[in-house]
Chain A
Amino acid sequence: KNQVEQSPQSLIILEGKNCTLQCNYTVSPFSNLRWYKQDTGRGPVSLTIMTFSENTKSNGRYTATLDADTKQSSLHITASQLSDSASYICVVSAWEAGTALIFGKGTTLSVSS
């Protein structure tokens, strides 16, 4: 069964600190993996998208890694800011027709001052 598991479920950090969010998946055949940021009550916004051949991709203070062998991905946030408080969702898609996007439940990050 295609699944995406994220950890931790929630995380609280102090402003300026770094953090890493984890995503494990069992999606096959794998097409790509995306990380989305979703502010409370708003739609998800794409941060990064990685295909099978990409190991790391950065978007400002966000760096995503992908290990296709172990089927794991991480999202590292550097020098966190209050505006980073949001839900971070890992989404994996499979190579098939239609829209086989499998969503994780997300990690809720709270950055406090």
Chain B
Amino acid sequence: ETGVTQTPRHLVMGMTNKKSLKCEQHLGHNAMYWYKQSAKKPLELMFVYSLEERVENNSVPSRFSPECPNSSHLFLHLHTLQPEDSALYLCASSQDGVSNTEAFFGQGTRLTVV
């Protein structure tokens, strides 16, 4: 275990549903991230939070809505998703938001949109 916990591990949702992914880290890190991993593609950065403020949003569609209530928790709220949004969603944390610090990843949530 890396100290980053994601729930649920698997999620199947319809295109009209609303669901949320949760990430929690117990490492005392200040930065948290959401990544999307589709089949045969590299990890894609979605959002970055540093000290609970969003510092990066990589042109992610508005149907994905992040929330960071404190430095230990990160959510990804999902609504009206498309089948192409099916992927492994990974949360990561690092000591700070600078690129040369190591990122620790959670186990991921396998999302299937039907």
A contact residues vs B (CB 8 Å cutoff): 4, 31-32, 34, 36, 41-46, 49, 51, 89, 93-101, 103-106
Q: What CA separation (Å) do A44 and B88 show in the bound complex?
A: 12
Nearest A residue to B106 by beta-carbon distance?
A43
Residue tally, chain B, CB below 8 Å to A: 29
Contact A100 B99 (CB under 8 A): yes
Is B75 part of the contact surface with A, judged by Cβ < 8 Å?
no
User: A-facing mask of B35-59, CB < 8 A → 1, else 0?
Assistant: 0000011110100100000011000
Contact A104 B105 (CB under 8 A): no
Contact B105 A99 (CB under 8 A): no
Within the complex, which residue of A34, A36, A99, A104 is in contact with B48, where a contact is CB–CB below 8 Å? Answer: A99
Nearest B residue to A93 by beta-carbon distance?
B99
Q: 19 A–B contact pairs at CB < 8 A?
A: A32-B100, A41-B88, A41-B108, A43-B6, A43-B90, A43-B105, A43-B106, A46-B102, A46-B103, A46-B104, A49-B102, A93-B100, A94-B99, A99-B33, A99-B94, A99-B97, A100-B99, A101-B103, A103-B43
Is B29 part of the contact surface with A, judged by Cβ < 8 Å?
no
Residues of A within 8 A of B103 (CB): 46, 99, 101
Contact B42 A34 (CB under 8 A): no
Is B82 part of the contact surface with A, judged by Cβ < 8 Å?
no
Contact A101 B45 (CB under 8 A): yes
Is B98 part of the contact surface with A, judged by Cβ < 8 Å?
yes
Residues of B within 8 A of A31 (CB): 99-100
Contact B42 A98 (CB under 8 A): no
Given contacts A31-B99, A89-B43, A105-B41, 13 further A-B contacts (CB under 8 A): A43-B105, A44-B43, A46-B103, A89-B42, A96-B99, A97-B98, A97-B99, A98-B97, A98-B99, A101-B45, A101-B99, A103-B42, A103-B43
Q: What CA separation (Å) do A31 and B55 show in the bound complex?
A: 20
Contact B55 A98 (CB under 8 A): yes
